[in-house]
Structure 1
């Protein structure tokens, strides 16, 4: 056998030696890494870390010369704190722990890592202040501490970290000052202080020394004063973001002299002054100086920026014309100048030289035509030009805008017919054209996804086509004050998703369809000022969600269907018709006194000043002779006198026998029509009627007779006086429930108060609270349900949607918003049809703007297992704490577990996150008592995870939660476009810790 040559032997020797060295390394540092894994909860994401393989083969570990130099452990669901032995890895240079669940104060254990140059602990749950001796991390080049809960001041010692090139402290709770010592960091290239509530901050003048700074990111930091001209010394600056602050004054002209500035974001400030006319930054790709108080014209020099892609100047006080040079920029994608004082015509070349994606010029004083070539690039997603003085016909080129989802041209002076292709654009969902002079007839076919159509105050004419039944996604239809004629076709009532319908002010005639087939979601129906006739169909009473009904100024005749009294109407107008007979009892009160005027043959049994009394001489009741009337009066007076004398004698005798008895005086305040009396309630407050007991008192079920049947009464009491906390809960409940109305919020009928007791009277909900159905050991058979009945998935989803609608109303439709603060399954009540209603507003809080000196803080309240993590140590009140609690309810619905039920010390939310992080099938976490519906339940499980994200900004709004829940229908009910991606519901995009609003106009349109 041929012997290997000497060089080959040398290579083999070196290889063997290096293998031994590697094995020695594996033995010496492997233990430290495995101990770290154990200390962080042994996450399944690190399952490849074991004693049989070299750490240098682990994907999360970087090695050099047989030793660990880096750890990339982002998004591994690590739990606990950072152990002190981490620096046993003596050659550690970079550590990334981004996006985990690590807690504790700032990890000073890293002081012992003498070679550490990169440290990323962002998006965790660290608390406390940054240490004053943070400069002991003397070798650090990259420091990312963002997305935590650090408070207080940024220590001046941070300015001693001379090697730093990146310093990121964004999205914390810093409430001190910005240290000028940061200006000493001469090597700094990125400075991120965004989204902190600094106290009376200004940009320190020392920052002018940051000559290497490329990215200056400081939005949402409470900055005040003017933009310092010293920033012009930052000659290498590429990105400047000072948005969401309180800056004022003029923009220093020197800012536009940067040679390398690629982006400028200055939106949502309170800046004033003019935009300088000299802009010498040819590399700018995005300019955003929106949401300020900028004045003067838009400089023509913007058109010289041949790389400009985004130009946002909206919500200022800019005036003058839009320079034509801007429309000729070849790279322009986004143009937003809405909410200004711009005049003149729109440059006709918009869209001709570039692929416009967004065009928003609303709320100005612009004139002339809409540019013909807006869609020439084929990328336009929206045309928003409402509230101007635009004229002419719509350009036919809009028919080719296949990517457009919304067109908003209302409140202009457009004329002519709508080009036929616009009605059927492939992706359009919103078409808002009200307040113009458009003409023509309604088409028989519209886009499959059209959900909002507003054409009021135009000159549309003709009949409503029977083919309107194919507009299946229509949600809002506003067509007031046009010239429509003919009958309302019965096919119209098949639109099951319709919630708002305005057809008032037309010339519609004939009778209403006798059967209302599918208007089950309708909340507003306005058919006023038409020529409709016949009787009001009793089938309108089947519209359980209807809140507003207006049939005034028509020719309806006959009696008002008494069934309408079962509706929960907040507004009713049947005036100026030919109705006869008595007003239904439910409407015969002061709340509806103006709802029936100009109906001469209607009568009231109460003192309604607008109608004659049903028992007056003008009514059709039997007339009695004067003698009989006199005898009745005399006899009644005699009986009344005898009764009074008898009562006085009995009462005097009673007082003598019980001289020390204290009389209780009750004060009654009603919030709805009362069909029971105070005596009905007080006489039935017995132990036999108790259905629940809490810390504040007892809850009674009391029978009050038909049609209501029962009411629920919560008694807040104390042996002597009302406890201050109970008094606050009573006040909060009355203040909020007495003023809001929603079908998914429990109805407070009235309250009674005395010296030592307070009674809250609610509508009675037969199926009581959700937790009893999910977690109760024994459920009594109700409404035909058999013993041991388990809520099926359709009912659970119905409950989730109902509760979400109630919370969405509180967060988004109430002004100011209302935060419940105690959302849990026991505070979600169910009526006989399992419709959900939010209850118990004793801890609720109205989010009014804090007064000077107030921090928007509150005492910690709520229930264990439903607490949002940040609420325990910040006590800051916002809607996101309700989102977290509702996420726990969603997890209860899909898993069947209780809020505090997990593994070991974990609650339900923590257990769900751990289960998901371990890579186990989501199906394994679902309630085993539910069969089928795995896709929908998995989606809601993951939605529950998103809602219970540890960082508040990662949680969706209740409006987004409601939208996702509504889409959890069987697949055969969804269009093909929506079916795609349902099987793989990716939560990663929704779990991003940062989100940015790119169009405030889009928020306005929701």
Structure 2
């Protein structure tokens, strides 16, 4: 018995020693782990995001990127840390590491980082949203302990290795948005523990959905959207008993929807939209837990099965853009959970169930472009949750439901092209969130309201029977951007109050009974882009104020009773469309309009004349002969003065004046440089002549000035002149100087210096030979002087993609690499300049804004920007953020892919709205592309960039990607080896198809 006692005593006295020894070993290992972290930081060149990784007494386990278990590092999460470089082998010196997340960075290597094979405990590996390239190795199955593997949104190439099917511990496999080739390996079907499988957006893979995948009995989430799937959906998909979420959208699947699909009792989400599926929707429905069904944009025929009325948990039903017909089952209207209903673009007929809105919290109700008759359901707005009612292009009649007048969440009401009558419910006009009200082509009656919703930006009410005067209260419609009240019975004069709308860009009042003279004070219409007052009885003269509307491009005053002369300065406007026909105008037309582009602009004005011969306008009389003779005699007398005496006097005066002028210039002008200059301020000032004028804008003129005998050029922007500067223009000048002098980037125009005096400010930039992007995209401007010679060429697709990438780089730098971030606020194709190699550079920072913090918005005192480019939240709320620029950039992407102008979608529709509608209606994307540049080899890329433009112009800022994400996407498309990858775009595309964006910005 003594031996155990001795042992116990020995252990008792020696245990502190062992504890101390263990504690010391633990401390050493902890120090080693911290050393590994600091070595990682150094390997990645000390990114700012890891500046807090410093040696200290504080344990590294407290660092936010680190998770420790019992004092040892088990998780390392470095997502979105702006890290560049490779994955070093010594990262596996963190022996207890089980989770490694390096997603959303700029990491790269040629091939999968095989060094990670040494991380023996690694179970969770996320390398997504990076720049890894090369192949995934065949022996990846050596990482047999992995439970989650995410390689999505990288540049890996080659085939998906079959050995991935040997990672039998995997619960989640994510390979989305990677340009793999070949086909999906059927061995993936051996991953018996797999619960989540993401193989979406692999456009270089063309394959069927392997039938072996249906062996994945534990699979809950299957996402294979946008991966060029062909063939039919396997019938055995009905055996995947655990399946909850199925997304096979945006593929080329054909055949019928398997009848067993809707028998899966755990199924809650079904996305099969944008395929070539045909036949009727399966009748049997046992998936009573189903939450969302999206079978839109296929070739489905037949009717909606009555069994859909049994889906009591259904919140969203999207069957739009098919060939479905028959009556919409009344039982659909009684579904208690229904929130979103999208059935537009079919051939549904009959009346709508009167129960829609009575039993559920309905938010979206979209039944446009069908053959529906009868009335809109009277209870549609009973629950007050509606955000959108889109019912245009039907045969609906009667009055609008009065319940709509109390739907304060309503953002869009579009009932165009029906047979509605009666008055609009009074509450509709002032709904607090209403932004789009479209009533055209009906038989509505009543008068225009004194007050409108403060958020209303678009009001279309043409081709109705609205009558009465335009109310004086129109001055309160402060956020209105687009007003079309043409072809009604409006009378009276155009009130001065209408000119007080600062954001109005489109105004159509043609084909009414308006009379009286035009308001003389219209200078406040600074945002006006299109004005049509034709076919009225307006009299008096054309106000000279039209000449000072800097954004006006389309003006129609035809078929009125206007008289007097055309203001000469009207020719200074860059009008693309002008119609002053059928009036009583007199005198000569401005010389700028004496060309073929305006040949039909002045018809039926007998007393108008032109200085140049024209088929439609009489030539103005020559000047009096006697006057010419008198002038000739006077000239001869002057020449008769003794030449020698006159020469001496003139020489003396010229020298004296020149010396005084140079001295005055030296005192009056101050030059501040930001670069090393090879010119003087006198070189610049002497070049500010009309012969060197190359452009005019709202804040000044731009000149092309030669600065040396070699004919090197600079661009000079003169902000104001001949008067004391206005406060607004001075702010713009100071903003541009502050921003451009503080940033350096190859895709932002270089500010060389500025020259200032008491009444004039000059900004001197590098000169870019190929001028601005809009000159190349605008068909009417293609035959123009560029780089000193006449060019009729068009930009091919590789050049356009190069320009998109360059502009995205500049904008991404402003948003993500400048501190504080910079928002441009007036991004448009005319502010993207091109050098001799067609490298893009962002210009014109006069209204740019520095934000206090990235991701935050700022409220501006006024909305600036150009029609077609302005983000809706900016126009409505004046809140500006980086996402406002993303919207404008999206419009530029749409211009590059379609060849259309930002304000030119179709009649009265912006390009962004037109693109949304084209996408939503399910028309072939290739039909939207610019016919002059689309070729078969570029179609996929062009379609991808077109869709990215749609995503960037999402109505909700939260649905738009950041410029960092946009740049990633474009860079991948700009690299032939990884052609076709769509990166983050797919996530935003899902918002495009399923979120609020479609409701807020209707295609019509």
Task: Give the one of 886, 905, 914 matched to 2:811.
Answer: 886
Corresponding residue for 1:217?
A: 223
The CA deviation at 1:591 is 1.8
Asked which structure has the greater RCO (Cα within 8 Å, sep 6+), the reply is 2
2:692 counterpart (679, 687, 710): 710
Query: Which residue does 1:730 correspond to in 2?
Result: none
Does structure 1 retain, via aligned residues, the 8 Å contact 2:716–2:762? Answer: no
Residue number in structure 2 paired with 1:139 = 145
Give the structure 2 partner of residue 73 of structure 1: 78
Contact 2:444 2:466 in 1 (8 A): yes
Distance in 2 (CA, whole Å) between partners of 1:190 and 1:27 is: 38
Which of 111, 117, 121 in structure 1 is aligned with 2:117? 111
5+ unaligned residues in a row in structure 1: which ranges? 625-691, 695-699, 713-740, 747-762, 770-775, 803-820, 849-872, 900-929, 945-956, 972-984
TM superposition shift of 1:13: 9.0
Q: Give the deviation of 1:454 after TM superposition.
A: 0.8
Residue deviations 1:586-623, cap 9 Å, x none? 2222221211112222233333222333349xxxx889
- The answer to which of 397-406 and 593-602 deviates more is 593-602
Query: CA 1:486/1:401 → structure 2, altered by over 3 Å: closer, same or farther?
Result: same
- 126-135 or 996-1005, which deviates more: 996-1005
The 5-angstrom pairing of residues 723-734 of structure 1 reads none
Q: Is the 8 Å Cα contact of residues 455 and 876 (structure 2) preserved in structure 1? A: no
Q: Which residue of 2 aligns with 1:393?
A: 399
Separation (CA, whole Å) in 1 of partners of 2:313 and 2:413 = 28
Q: Superposed, which structure 2 residues align to 1:443-458 within 5 Å?
A: 443-458=449-464
Change (3 A) 1:794 1:701: closer
Q: Is the 8 A contact 2:269 2:292 kept in 1?
A: yes
In the alignment, is residue 288 of structure 1 matched against residue 226 of structure 2?
no
For 2:35, the equivalent position in structure 1 comes to 31
Counterpart mapping for 1:92-171 below 5 A: 92-105=97-110, 106-171=112-177
- Please name the residue that 1:40 is paired with: 44
Partner of 2:358: 352
C-alpha separation in 2, matches of 1:711 and 1:205: 68
Contact 2:278 2:299 in 1 (8 A): yes
* Residue of structure 1 aligned with 2:184, choices 150, 163, 178: 178
- Number of the residue aligned with 1:404: 410
Q: 1:191 aligns with which of 181, 192, 197?
A: 197
Which residues of 2 match residues 672-687 of structure 1 at below 5 A? none
**Does the Cα contact within 8 Å between 2:309 and 2:334 map onto a contact in 1?**
yes
- Per-residue CA distance 1:75-119 (angstroms, 9 max, x = gap): 333332211011122332222222233222321111112222211
From the superposition, tell whether residues 222 and 801 of structure 1 become closer, same or farther in structure 2 (CA, over 3 Å): farther
Find out whether 1:323 has 2:329 as its counterpart: yes
Asked if structure 2 preserves the Cα contact closer than 8 Å seen for 1:701 and 1:711, the reply is no
Aligned match of 2:933:
none
**Displacement, 1:406?**
1.4
Pick one of 719, 732, 743 that aligns with 1:794: 732
Asked if 1 retains the 8 angstrom alpha-carbon contact of 2:688 and 2:703, the reply is no
Instruction: Please name the residue that 2:90 is paired with.
Output: 85
Alignment partner, residue 430 of structure 2:
424
Q: Deviations over 1:652-676 (max 9, x none)?
A: xxxxxxxxxxxxxxxxxxxxxxxxx
| Aligned counterparts, 1:580-599, within 5 A | 580-599=586-605
The aligned residue for residue 939 of structure 2 is: none
Secondary structure of 1:167 counterpart: strand
| CA apart distance, 1:876 | 6.6
Aligned counterparts, 1:789-828, within 5 A: 794-795=732-733, 823-826=747-750
Of residues 97-106 and 213-222 in structure 1, the stretch that sits farther from structure 2 once superposed is 97-106
Which whole-Å CA distance do the structure 2 matches of 1:56 and 1:892 have between them?
29
**Deviation digits for residues 23-61 of structure 1 (CA, Å, limit 9, x no counterpart):** 243244333233223323444554256353444454543
Partners of 1:940 and 1:965 within 8 A in 2: no
Q: 2 CA distance for matches of 1:174 and 1:744?
A: 49
* Residue number in structure 2 paired with 1:642: none
Shifted more, 12-21 versus 541-550: the winner is 12-21
Q: In the aligned structure 2, how far is the partner of 1:566 from the partner of 1:535? A: 18
Q: Deviations over 1:312-363 (max 9, x none)?
A: 1112221111111111111111111111111111111111111111111111
Contact 1:381 1:406 in 2 (8 A): yes
Q: Where does the alignment leave 5 or more consecutive residues of structure 2 unmatched?
A: 1-7, 627-674, 678-682, 708-713, 755-759, 778-797, 825-844, 858-865, 881-956, 966-983
* Aligned counterparts of 2:177 and 2:230: Cα–Cα separation in 1: 19
The CA deviation string for residues 804-831 of structure 1, in whole angstroms up to 9 with x for no partner, is xxxxxxxxxxxxxxxxx99531499999
Question: 1:465 and 2:471 equivalent?
Answer: yes
Task: Provide the rounded CA distance (Å) in 2 between the counterparts of 1:959 and 1:150.
Answer: 38
Q: Is the 8 A contact 2:720 2:729 kept in 1?
A: no
Partner residue in 2 for 1:674: none
CA deviation after TM superposition for structure 1 residue 526, in Å: 0.4
CA distance in 2 between counterparts of 1:406 and 1:577 reads 39
**Cα gap change, 1:350 to 1:153, in 2 (>3 Å):** same
Alpha carbons of structure 1 residues 152 and 380: separation in structure 2 relative to 1, 3 Å: same
Q: For residue 937 of structure 1, what is the aligned residue in structure 2?
A: 850
Equivalent residues of 1:174, 1:198 under 8 A apart: yes
Alpha-carbon deviation of 1:778? 13
- How many residue pairs match? The answer is 773
What is the alpha-carbon root mean square deviation over aligned residues?
A: 4.8
Q: Which residue of 2 aligns with 1:863?
A: none
CA distance in 2, matches of 1:745, 1:515: 20
Give the conservation status (yes or no) of the 8 Å contact 1:283–1:305. yes
Moved more, 827-836 or 224-233: 827-836
